[in-house]
Structures are given as C-alpha cells and as structure tokens.
Amino acid sequence: MELEAGSCWLPAAGLGLLAAGFFLLPAGLELALGLLLLTLCLQRLLAAPLLILRAPHQVGYIPEPGISKRRAANEVRRRRKKGELPPVYPNGWYRVLDSQQLQPGQVKNITIFVPEFAKIKTWPTCELNCAVFVWFHCDDIDPSWSIPEQEEIQSGEWVYRGRTEHFVNCHIQEIPENAADIAHLSHLHAPSMLSGSDLRSTRASHWGFAQHDWKVEWNTESEPNKHCSRMLVNHAFYIFGRRFPLLDVHVVCRQVGPGIVYMLFNHSFLGRGIILHCVAPVEPLLQRVTHSIYYQANIPAIIPKFVLKAECIQFERDVMIWNNKKYISKPLLVKEDSAIARHRRWYTQFYSQNSPRFTAQLDSLDW
C-alpha cells in the first residue's frame, strides 16, 4: 500500500453540484468557488507532509505471471538460503514510532524483537528528536550510550515534512553495511531517480542521459563515540555528460549504534535539513525501516518532500537486493571493498555472548 498524505482530489462533477442542487449560483461566483477549492487543494498537496507506507511484500519482489506479489514474497522467504548469520538482535537504541503517532494518554501495540519483546519486563525508553526509542540489551544491561539531540528539531527550527516506511526481508546488519559498500553506488544508484526503483529497467530507461555521481568515504569514530561511524557523501548530477552545480549536495551520514542514522543535508540554495533513518527488527529477518525528514521552516515544503521521494526511490533499489540475497559471513573482498571488512569489525561491538541467534522457530508466518 502507498499512502501519500496531502494528496487530494475533486469529484468529477463536484462543481456541477453547486448548480444542480437546491439553488443556482451565478456563473462568476461558481467559477470563483471552483478556483478557491482548487487553490486550497493545491496548497494542501504542496504543504502537507509526504507519507509513503510500503507493505512487506510490495517492494523488491518479482512475481511470476499469475502469482501475486504477496505469494512471491512468501516463496522467496521460504526458499532463500540464509547463510551464516550474526546474532539477530544487536544491543542498542531503536525507534518504535514518531512522537506525533502517539497522542497523550493513547496506547499503541508495537511489534518488535519477536519473540524477545514478548517477555514481561520494563524497557528503558526515551523521547527525543520527535521520536520514541526503546533500549534493547540481551543481558538487561542499562544503556551505555545516549541518542544525540538534534538541536534544530528540538527547537522547531527544522519542521517535519514527511516519512517513509518499508519492511525489508534481511538481517539488520545488511542495511547499515551499505554505507561501507562504496562500489555498489555506481551500479545501483548512478541511474537517475526518474528511472525508478526496479533494477531490471533502471539502466534500460529512456532517462539514461541523466546520471548521479557519488563520492563517498566511510570511517569509524573514536572514544567516547566508538558506537558511531560517519559516511561523507558528495553528490553531483549530470545531464548529457554536463554537470549541474546547482544540484551538488553534501551529506554527512552519522550512524549512532546499530539502527539510527542522522543524514544531514547542506545545500547552498536548497537549504539544510535532516533525514532520520531508523532500522528496527520486527523479527529476526524482517526489518522496519523509516525515513523521517525535518527541514528549514522557511524552505517551501515541496523541496524536502522531493528530497524524501528521491531517497525513497534510491532506497527501494537496495531493498530489491536485500530481499533476495544470501548473507556471506566471509566474502571474498578486493582492496576497494576494504571498508566492508572494517564495518563488520566495528558492528560486532553491538553483539554479546548471549545475543539471540537465528533459528527456524523464530522465523515468521506468511504475510
């Protein structure tokens, strides 16, 4: 399911009802009311937050003729070789929902860490950056690090402009490891976002004259922030081989723990903002991934909504890989892939001796 909040529509005969009801309106007044309704509709379309929600089977699967996507997704989940997986639930903070999704006095059911979360106990929580987080540790150890405050969100300088939500059929470590897989950027993410997210056609698209270029560097941080890492991204956009500097974007992606990433955007013309990229295990091999964008209040909402939509398309290209790949514990890496090995060593700090391992009994039922 895709739900894009802010979309609105007018009934085909909507204006005609004004004249076909119990009374008639003058033609000029009828036209004015129609233009007013259209203006309000467009204003809502442009200003309301973007909301895109994908069902678990909706992205990254290719069904055979006559087979639904849901059935195809379940077949892939059953047949795919899992590989030698790391523990399935790393220790750390995880987002459970945005603050605006939980009203004062409201109670919501959240599915996370199946079946670990079913235990009756008290879970450390915090509310920060307009989101609610829960701390998980297999040995019930109290939080050893805290979530950084993003001052611009807390102060209201940056305002909420939208959220996307996906369910990814893979081990949680696969998703942040993407930051260190620098070589994949030119293969998956060079084609223009206008080419879509289906990898079968991104390079065959008639949008081939437009290309993204990515320059990326990934490194870990030192004490007292050894639980953090940074990916520096410089993006350029080319049309018919010509670079358009107006679309150059500098992004600092700071990963905090196993499942939170701060993606800070800085553009000379389009302004500044952040996407909070959060991953939380629903079950051992099913991850809920959200992207919530906050942007300068004085920048038109259409700008951050476009940024979020572009990020959604690029992310769904990765989902198509994650949903179908096998985890290789000891891959053959060339020199250019050395960052992947460094990332895996860094990520091991979030596991401990009692971290739960994957078993067939922990896997889910069909969707």
Instruction: Read off the pLDDT of each residue in 65-73 and give the average, rounded to a whole number.
Output: 89
User: Taking 70 as the threshold, does the pLDDT of residue 224 lie above it?
Assistant: yes
Q: Which pLDDT belongs to residue 117?
A: 53
What gap in Å lies between CA 186 and CA 268, rounded to an integer? Answer: 25
What global pTM score does this model have? 0.85
Residue 3, pLDDT above cutoff 50 = no
- Does position 12 have pLDDT exceeding 50, yes or no? no
Q: What percent of the chain has pLDDT over 90?
A: 63
With H, G, I as helix, E, B as strand and everything else as coil, classify residue 204: coil
Give the integer Cα–Cα distance in Å for 201 and 337. 26
Strands, E assignment, 19-77: 50-53
**Domain regions of the chain by residue span:** 84-362
Alpha-carbon dihedral sign for residues 351, 354, 360, 361: negative
262-290 pLDDT, tens digit each = 999 988 888 999 999 999 999 999 999 99
Q: Would you state the pLDDT for residue 15? A: 34
List, for residues 230-258, the tens digit of each pLDDT value: 999 999 999 999 999 888 999 999 999 99
pLDDT band at 14 (very low <50, low <70, confident <90, very high): very low
Give the CATH number of domain 84-362: 3.90.380.10
**Would you say the C-alpha torsion 329, 229, 336, 242 has a positive or negative sign?**
positive
Per DSSP, 147 falls in state P
Phi, psi of 328 (to 5 degrees): -110, 115
Q: Which range has the worst mean pLDDT, 19-28, 143-152, 231-240, 291-300? A: 19-28
List C-alpha distances in Å: 183 to 105, 229, 327, 335, 360. Answer: 48, 18, 17, 11, 33
Q: How far from the centroid of its chain's Cα atoms is residue 150's Cα?
A: 18
- What mean pLDDT is reported for the chain? 87
User: Residue with structure tokens 């955007």?
Assistant: 265
- If you average pLDDT over each of 59-63, 236-240, 329-333, which comes out highest? 236-240
- The region of weakest confidence among 34-48, 306-320, 344-358 is 34-48
* DSSP3 helix / strand / coil % (the chain, rounded to 5): 30, 25, 45
